[in-house]
Amino acid sequence: MPLANCKGCGKLMISRKMPYCPDCKTKQDLLYRQIRDYLKENPGSTLLDVHTNTGIPISTVIELRKEDYIPYS
């Protein structure tokens, strides 16, 4: 079993398809749902709108987008 460090927290974990440990994956999923719900209620929102109204850091929103969690709208 290959080992890897979690991309989110750096913990050592058994390497799987996802680069995140279970704890960080859960956090990522919660952030995704928060952003998704905001965008459903506010279509056409900008990155700054999402950040301002959800409190999620811009860098996190961008990272989720890069990982295809959040589709372009």
DSSP single-letter state for residue 16: -
> Do 50 and 61 touch, CB atoms closer than 8 A?
yes
Give pLDDT tens digits for 26-66.
Answer: 999 999 999 999 999 999 999 999 999 999 999 999 988 88
Residue 21, both tokens: 């440990």
Give pLDDT tens digits for 18-34.
Answer: 888 999 999 999 999 99
pLDDT at 35: 93
Cα 29 to its chain centre, rounded Å, is 7
Rounded Cα distance, 13 and 32, in Å: 23
Enumerate domains of the chain plus CATH numbers: 20-73 (1.10.10)
CA dihedral 15, 70, 63, 59 (to 10 degrees): -150
